[in-house]
Amino acid sequence: MLHPQAQALLQLMRDSAVQPPEKLGPALARTQYRDRRFTLQPLPPEVALTQELRAGDIPLRLVRPLGSTPAQSLPVLVYYHGGGWVIGDLDTHDTLCRELANGSGCAVVAVDYRAAPEHRFPAAVDDALEALLWVHAHAAGLGLDAQRMAVGGDSAGANLAAVAAIAARDAGRMALKFQLLIYPVTDMRQGAPSYTSRGEGYSLSAQTMAWFRTLYLGEAGDHADWRGSPLLCEDLGRLPPAFVLTAGYDPLRDEGLHYAQRLTEAGNQATLVCFERQMHGFVLLGRVLDEANVAVQLCAAQLRQGLSAPADGPPAPRAAWPSP
C-alpha cells in the first residue's frame, strides 16, 4: 500500500540509476543530496527574516516567520537536519525550516553540526548541545523567548534532538517545552523488525543505515551509548512533550514507535502519527508527494500548540552537561 506518488518517485530513481550513499562516498553523496532539493522540494517560502549566526564554530541559521516583527519575542525551535550524520546541511533543510516557521508562528534556528566521518561521534552530539545552550543564552538579543524553546529534527537530526532533550533535562539548564521528532533514529543496534520488513527497496535501506552508523560511530562504536541510542536511556521521565512522526515504509518505523511508547510509559506526553503509505525522507519532498505537505502542516500545528504558553521558570543550573 505504498502511496502511488511514492511508487512513481522510486521508479524515477531506478530509471535514473540513482545510487545509494554508500556507493557514492560521503563527498559525492552530500553533493547529490544537496542538488536533489531543486527537483523534489517545494520552492522556499518567503519569511520575515533569515540570519546567519554562529555558536562558536557552529553555523546556525535563524528564520523568523512571515508576519512577525523585530519587536516580537518569539518561541523558538532549535532544529537539527537529517542525513545520517554524514550528509545534509542548512540548505538541504532550509525550505522545511521556513515552512515550519511560517506554519507555527515560531522562529526556527537550524544547526549545521559537524558531520562524520571527518568528525565522528560524539561531535554531532556536542555541537547539538552547544548550539542549544547558545540559543538559550542569546535568546533575548535575537528576539527569542528563552522560556518557550523546543528541539526538533528529522532522522539523524531527530536522534540529536531526542538526545539534546535528555541532556538538557539532566543538566538542568533550561526547561524545554516540546520536541518534534520526525522518523527518529533511536536505537543504534538496528535490530527492530522494520529493518527486515522495510529494509530494502525503498528510499532508505538497512544497508545504508549500517553505513551511516559505521561512519558516525566507527567500527567499534558503542551501540548502547544513550547519546547514540536514546531508546536505551534508562530514565526517560520528566521530558518535554513529544510529537513523533513516522513513515510506514521506513526501516526506522519501529524505532519511532518504540520511542514514543517508552516516553509515554515514563509519564511524558507523547503523540505518534504514522504516515503508513510513505517512506523515509518524505517530509522534505512536497513538490512530488502531496502527503509531505500535510505532514509539514501537522508538525507546524503541533509545534504551535506545544510552544503556545510560557513555561515555568528554568530549573537551577548545574555545572556541566551529563556524561554518558
CA-to-CA distance for 200 and 249, rounded, in angstroms? 10
Strands 107-111 and 58-64: antiparallel
Q: Which of 155, 203, 205, 229 is catalytic?
A: 155
| 254 is annotated as an active-site residue | no
Strands 107-111 and 74-80: parallel
Q: Residue 246 forms beta bridges with which residues? A: 274
Q: Which of 94, 187, 250, 254 is catalytic?
A: 250
Within 13 Å, how many C-alpha atoms sit on residue 23's CB side?
A: 6
Sign of the CA dihedral 66, 293, 95, 243? positive
Per the listing, cell 538542568 goes with 172
- 43-72 as b/e: b if 16+ CB within 10 A: ebeebbebeebebeebbbbbbbbeebeeee
| 91 is annotated as an active-site residue | no
Helix boundaries (H) for 71-205: 94-104, 123-138, 156-171, 194-197
Q: Which of 3, 81, 93, 280 is catalytic?
A: 280
CA-to-CA distance for 121 and 126, rounded, in angstroms? 9
The residue type at 221: G
| 93 is annotated as an active-site residue | no
CA-to-CA distance for 282 and 265, rounded, in angstroms? 28
Looking at the annotation, which residues are catalytic?
A: 155, 250, 280
